[in-house]
Amino acid sequence: MAKTDGFRLKDMVAAPFTPFTADGEVNYNILDDYADYIVKTNFTGIFVNGTLGEGLSLTLLERKSLAEGWVRASRGRLQIIVHVGATCVRDSQELARHAEEIGATAIAGLSPSYYKPESEEILVETMSLIAGAAPNTPFYYYDINFFTGLYINIRKFMELAKARIPTLRGLKNSSREIPGSYDCTFVEECQVLVGTDVQYLSYLAHGISGVVVASYLGNLFDDMRRAYQTGDTAKALEHQNIAHKINNIRNKHGGGINVAKAMFKILTGLDAGPVRLPLRSLKADEFNAIRGDLVDAGLTDVSLPTDQ
């Protein structure tokens, strides 16, 4: 029996932004306050160096240092899931080994996406090398096909991978495809985590309660989950409608990580700085327009800790 058998992540996982200074360097000084905020808004874990965290725009040293920083800042209060996906398998292996060394709760990895695996079988072989570099740490496959351009039969992959990757515990699916995610729940001991902001209530209706979302949505999504699980579907729908309003404002202004990062500052009061090239940082008038829309919609308090 593998040491990871029976492991499951807790339901509420934040996808934090990587804080940058004005000149584009990683700002480690904010991590303590950021982790405190995440805890106070009912998250139980963080997904480090993922898409919202611009993980693939970071150097290996930065990714390692951030993983270490989040472990320290969490002070044992959060499960730490370190994303180790990269364009180079050996880089992913190095990140996986490091994550295990620093005591990460779990690791996750997307597929290399410049040179793509040509089949589910080759993807399994690739992921087995990455997961094998951290043999005592639970592994989750990260599927975000509209970014990677890798479109696979996800259930077939999970079934094949289960036989090859002893630490495989599940899937983080950000590919906006509910049927495929739901299909994976029929794979033995496969935990599915949803990675899309506007589909959570639909996933709850399919019995999928694990979620990885932007770090300004903790209270809202935790309230939605609790309402649904206690039978108050009307209240759960109210929370999902608020999430849609927030997402609609984000999409109105372009929908990118730069917009989401601006919304984080407006909604939480924490400044994670600009994005890093090749993403475009927003101009002051764009930031103010986003703020105006959130104020007009009455949404500026939805992300504050409940003790404020």
pLDDT, tens digit only, all 308 positions of the chain? 456 778 999 999 999 999 999 999 999 999 999 999 999 999 999 999 999 999 999 999 999 999 999 999 999 999 999 999 999 999 999 999 999 999 999 999 999 999 999 999 999 999 999 999 999 999 999 999 988 989 999 999 999 999 999 999 999 999 878 888 899 999 999 999 999 888 999 999 999 999 999 999 999 999 999 999 999 999 999 999 999 999 999 999 999 999 999 999 999 999 999 999 999 999 999 999 999 999 999 999 888 887 64
Contact 173, 148 (CB under 8 A): no
Q: What are phi and psi of 170, to 5 degrees?
A: 165, -155
Active site residue 142: yes
Nearest to 212 by CA among 265, 141, 286, 268: 141
For the chain, which domains are there?
Answer: 12-232 (3.20.20.70)
Which parts are annotated binding residues for pyruvate?
212
| Cα within 13 Å of Cα(247), Cβ side | 15
Whole-angstrom distance, CA of residue 258 vs CA of residue 263: 9
Per annotation, catalytic residue among 172, 200, 203, 228: 172
Active site residue 3: no
Alpha-helical segments (H) within the chain: 31-40, 60-74, 89-101, 120-132, 145-148, 154-164, 178-184, 200-205, 218-229, 233-252, 257-268, 284-296
Q: What is the DSSP string of 196-257?
A: -TT-HHHHHHTT--EEEEETT-HHHHHHHHHHHHTT-HHHHHHHHHHHHHHHHHHHHTT-SH
Spatial neighbors of 176 by CB under 8 A, at least 6 apart, are 146, 196, 199
Contact 117, 145 (CB under 8 A): no
Q: CA separation (Å) from 177 to 172, 222, 260?
A: 12, 22, 22
Per annotation, catalytic residue among 34, 142, 216, 228: 142
The predicted pLDDT at position 1 comes to 47
What phi-psi label fits residue 106: left (phi over 0), alpha (psi between -120 and 50 degrees) or beta?
A: beta
Spatial neighbors of 225 by CB under 8 A, at least 6 apart, are 11, 12, 200, 204, 209, 211, 236
The predicted pLDDT at position 132 comes to 98
The predicted pLDDT at position 223 comes to 96
The predicted pLDDT at position 3 comes to 65
Which parts are annotated binding residues?
212
